[in-house]
Structure formats: structure tokens, C-alpha cells
Structure 1
């Protein structure tokens, strides 16, 4: 059973608390509960038994859990409470919703091209068939040793072109020193990861910034030269 997520979001004068947990056990599913004033407004449940049967590892389930949690948080921040209270699509991803309160009816709406169910169902389908990952990096055109850097990493489905969540690691590799991890973590639900800091000094040899992204069994990598200051 994986460690869950808890987030408080303020919207329209109301505080929403989102709690997402891995239920695991004999009935593997990820459950998200949305609270208002201590009462449950809605819930989301996504079964993942089929992913386990297909060989998905713990990291894949963790990414699914984080994606569901972030999708709900972003829906609330965007005023799309209706996405959480409308009936869910009944498909293999089987994401269910239980509305507990009429509060959502008063929330404003922001146009969105995809519902929360579609976002999660898409991820489930990609995990079932496998994803060819592609990584794009902004801000790595001119890297100087010993100087600050800031990059934005985007992880994409190479075939479909849209962002997918992934684990990202950024390393500094040099012919003169041991490899050094500068940043690591998960992208957001749209496949974006931002990192920054100061590059190690480089007195001799050649330096490379290596950005590695992993989603399921797919790995993508990008390398950038680090010049001497």
C-alpha cells in the first residue's frame, strides 16, 4: 500500500480538502475523497487490477495515484467542480463518483476539452498498451559550469504528442568527477517538471547535463553540453 496525498484548495470562498489513497489489498483501487467542511462532497475510485495483471510495477501505480490526485486538485482550482460530481464513464478504468452535496452547483465553470474521467482513462489505456516516451527540455541551450540553471522538462507520448506523467532525474556527468544528481521527482499531470539550482564547477574535462524520464517501461533521455564559465 502506497503513501497517499492530501491537499487543501481554496476556491470561491470555500476550502476543499482532497485525500487520495491506495487501498491495495484484495481489491486494488485508488480512492480520492473530496471534503468540504468535514463532509464528503464527492469521491473517485479507479481500479487497477488489470494493470497489475499486465505487469505494472509500484512506480506505475504511484504515478496513477498522483495523476488522479493532481487532476482533481486542478479541476477544483479551475472551477470545474462539476467534473467531480457528474456521473463517471463506465469503462475498464471504472472511475466512480458519489456526490454528497449541492455545493458544486454554485461553482463557476471554465471551459475544458477533456473531463477528469477522460484524462485518467487515457492514462490507463496508455499503460495497458505501453507508451513511447519523448522528452523535451527548455532552458538548457547554454549551460555554464558553476552557474545557476533553470530548466523545464516536458514528457510526451511520442505517438500522440500529448503530455504524460513520468519520473524525471537530472544528473551532471563529467569525465573528471563522479555523476551527481541535481534534481529528481514526478512531473505534474500534464507531464511538466521544473528544476533549478547551481551547476557544479568544472576545472577540467567535459561536463554533460543528462535528463532522464521514465514512465512504466519506457525511458527517454536528453543530453546537453555544460561549458566552462
Structure 2
């Protein structure tokens, strides 16, 4: 039996939990998840399909690759790959990585100088596998509380092990309200969450909720 790797790594003022496991010969992947505070910060997957081409597959060879991958992720952490961005660099990155108008809008929002979009839920999001997921939200301006009409809403299912899947999309009405419902799949590999995003000329906001099993 191949043993999983689990290591707590203290770097700076944070503790990273690194978990590496073999997904088995039916899915020949080695997966490493990085957790901080119980949430997945990043993931890395590598394949060992090449070993299946020359059977029998020796468990010790897979274990060696797991060990190598696990140690490489720990080195990345200790070398500062996941360090928090200092405030001065954070402001600079805002203007380097996004369109200028969006960067300015977000910067002013943080300074409290503009009335930007925010999402408000009547009830908390409670997505569950195999159940009907309903969402009702209001898009409004955070200072004046005025409804935002025609804001673009997208609802996606995201997973730590596969690409995101679109569930719902549409626009808010004249009252700033968007409603919709969709049947969630019975199951999904990895840690999953529903992400609800809203975009308009007044800004961007996003809500997330972890999908639970019933």
C-alpha cells in the first residue's frame, strides 16, 4: 500500500499543510494539495502513465515520485512562492495585471471614493450535491444602495481537480435582482464550490460557497 505524505510547513507567520497522494492505477496521477487555514491555496498534479507502458508497476517507483513532488512543493513554500504580497507591490500589481480602468476602479473602491457594485443575498448560499440549487441575489451600489440593472451574473461550479463548469448566467432586472436555479451533479471529485460573480460598469463582486454532500 502506498503511503500518503502529509507535512505542516511553517513559513513566516503562516502554517502550510502539504498533502500528496497517489490516485491509483486507474487514474495514474500524483496530486499535491496545499492548504492554509483549512482552505486549498494551490494544487499540483503529475502523471505517471509512462510507468504503465512497461508493467508491472513497482510501488516503490511511484513512492519515489511522490516523495520528489512533495519535497519540491515544500521547497517552493520555503523559497517564498506563496508569500503574501507587500502593500506597495500589491498596488503596483493592480495596475500591471488588469486593464487600467478596472485597476483604477478597484483602487478607488478600496479608498472609499466611488460608489461601486456589491452583491447582497436574501439567504446564504447552501449548495449540495444532487440537489436543486437556488440563488437569488441583488446587485446594488455599496454607498447609495441603488439597484444595478443589467449587471452580468455568472454561476460556476469549481473544483480542485477539474476545470470550472458554467451553471447559470443572466442579467439583473430593473430592481437589481437575479434569480435562477439549477440541478447540481450527484458528485464531483475534489473539493468543490459554487462561485457567483457579477460584473457591470460599476464594478465587480463575487460570492463563494462550498458544495456539501447530502
What's the TM-score bracket when you normalise by the shorter of the two chains? 0.3 to 0.5
Computing the radius of gyration from Cα coordinates, the structure with the larger value is: 2
**Given the two structures, how large is their TM-score scaled by the length of structure 1?**
0.41
* TM-score, normalising length: structure 2: 0.44
